Chain A
Amino acid sequence: MKMKSKADVVVVGGGIIGLFSAYWLAKSGEEVVVIEKKYPGSGSTFRCGTGIRQQFGDYANIQMMKKSVEIWKNLGEMLEFPEFKFAQTGYLFLLYSDEEIESFSKNVRLQNKYGIPSRIITPEEAREIVPLIDISEVKAASWNPTDGKANPFLAVRGLLNALKNLNAEVYPYTEVKEILHRGNEVKGVKTSRGEIRADIILNATNAWAKILNEKLGLKFPIEPYKHQAVITEPFKYDEIKPMVISFKYGGAYLTQEVTSGGVIGGIDLKYGPTWDLTTTYKFMREIAKNFTHIIPALKYIPLIRQWAGYYAETPDHNAVIGKVREYDGYYIAAGFSGHGFMLAPAATKGIVDIILHGKSDLPMDFYDPYRFERGELREQAIQMG
């Protein structure tokens, strides 16, 4: 495919963030191209845990996720891609101590204030939702029925389809070598396949963000950490509908994957910063130990695959989203710290609002790229895996 030589906006990174941003831009009539080093989804999107939740502990992530869920729910229709379905099956946090109950009750009050119908329930109620869980040590659970999960492969395919219909181009196996600029204005990119002129560039490369930023001498604290996940053989659907979380047992998250019905999940064992993605046996052992504590029947289920991907982590585990002051026309939406897939609809809407209108109704200041240098770190986002 011959590359265009100019566009209104160049989006670097063909994961969920880059593709979703390109979608909003193209819908607003912008001529947009997406440059992807490998193939769309290959970075972190296709390696993610598939969860989509609004149970956060701060005003910004709660509101952003509320907006995201509204969009996730209608995405199949919006993209005219009915294969994509958001499974609104909830998130169930198992709580084992008074301290945990207190901290989740506080979060629930905040979530309720923003219209999220989360609540603290009894262990017996939790067992009604997932009959297989062991509640012998569980004291309560935090439950939100409007959280859910989705298939990242279908989300990417739907977006690619829509981008094609909107005449937005996606160039796979194309690497940005240089960012062209005149003075402090960006002017385009030099890629492995030629130059593309554009006055607006969006860095949507998540774990690779610092590599692109360094081409302009910019530094934002985003580092790649190796996290892993597993999937088991499929079994009857809807045995484990919601995402089940246990901080006591390995910071584990697990659910039946929405398309195959196998259990997908992970724990909080991480390595890094590193570019290495070799899977570790230690992780597999820890998964087995912790998952079977949470749901004893899983001991009969064979694990078929384990893989690794990056969490592009920042010091407060919140993304870096906004306009870059040093270069006019340069924007960033990266460093999602394991929440890029779930946040994608609202986060990209927010950055595209900022690109096109200079502001957004969404609480985008929370993700201000300059909060780190000002020492204004956010409370760490609730993170699993």
Chain B
Amino acid sequence: MSEDPREKIIICRCNDVTLKDIEDIIDQGITDIEEIKRLTRVGMGPCQGRTCIPLVAGIIARKTGKKIEEIKIPITRIPVRPVPLGVLVGEDEDEE
């Protein structure tokens, strides 16, 4: 079996989601980023999609012929970047 080069193109570095994973989902007719996110785990790692979600939006636009502005981006939630629980309880100041 020859290897699909798209398996070597990583779209989501946090969760190892490849270009092939994304395109296969889109080929099944799923073009909602929120759904793609939940099925492939793209954008659900520590970077919370800052790297990969714009890439996914681009792939959807290319494959569906839609304009990038028409692709609905999932909502951003707090925290904007990973925060240790100790910082949230304010314990960081107590530490030596």
Contacts and interface: CB of A to CB of B under 8 A. Distances in A.
Contacts of B44: 305
Contacts of B79: 284, 303-306
B35 A302 contact: no
Contact of A288 (B30, B41, B78, B88): B88
B38 A288 contact: no
B85 A299 contact: yes
Contacts of B89: 285, 288-289, 292, 299
Contacts of B65: none
Contacts of A279: 77-78
B77 A305 contact: yes
B52 to A, nearest CB: 14
Interface in A39-65: 39, 41-42, 46
A157 B40 CA distance: 11
Given A284-B78, A285-B89, A306-B79, A300 B38 contact: no
Given A39-B32, A284-B78, A299-B91, A304 B85 contact: no
Contacts of A304: 45-46, 48, 79, 82
Contact of A292 (B34, B48, B86): B86
Interface string B16-51: 000000000000001010110011010011101000
Contacts, number: 74
A383 to B, nearest CB: 24
Interface string B73-96: 000011100111110110100000
A298 interface: yes
A301 interface: yes
A153 interface: yes
Nearest to A285: B88
Given A279-B77, A284-B79, A306-B78, A301 B38 contact: no
B46 A302 contact: yes
A98 B83 CA distance: 36
Nearest to A47: B38
Interface in A280-327: 281, 284-285, 287-289, 291-292, 298-307
B78 A281 contact: yes
A300 B82 contact: no
A260 to B, nearest CB: 8
Nearest to B88: A288
Given A39-B32, A39-B35, A153-B39, A303 B83 contact: yes
Nearest to A41: B38
A233 interface: yes
Nearest to A39: B35
A298 B88 CA distance: 11
Contact of A291 (B77, B82, B85): B85
Contacts of A306: 77-79
A288 B85 contact: yes
Nearest to B86: A299
A232 interface: yes
Contacts of A287: 85, 88
A303 B39 contact: no
Contact of A298 (B30, B77, B78, B85): B85
A300 B88 contact: no
A293 to B, nearest CB: 9
Interface of B: 15, 30, 32, 34-35, 38-39, 41, 44-46, 48, 77-79, 82-86, 88-89, 91
Given A157-B39, A300-B84, 7 more contacts: A39-B30, A39-B34, A260-B41, A288-B89, A292-B85, A299-B84, A303-B84
Interface of A: 39, 41-42, 46, 153, 157, 232-233, 260, 279, 281, 284-285, 287-289, 291-292, 298-307
20 contacts: A41-B38, A42-B34, A153-B41, A232-B85, A233-B46, A233-B82, A260-B15, A260-B41, A284-B78, A284-B79, A289-B89, A298-B85, A299-B89, A300-B84, A302-B83, A303-B79, A303-B83, A303-B84, A304-B48, A306-B77
Closest 4 CB pairs of A and B: A299-B86, A302-B82, A288-B88, A288-B85
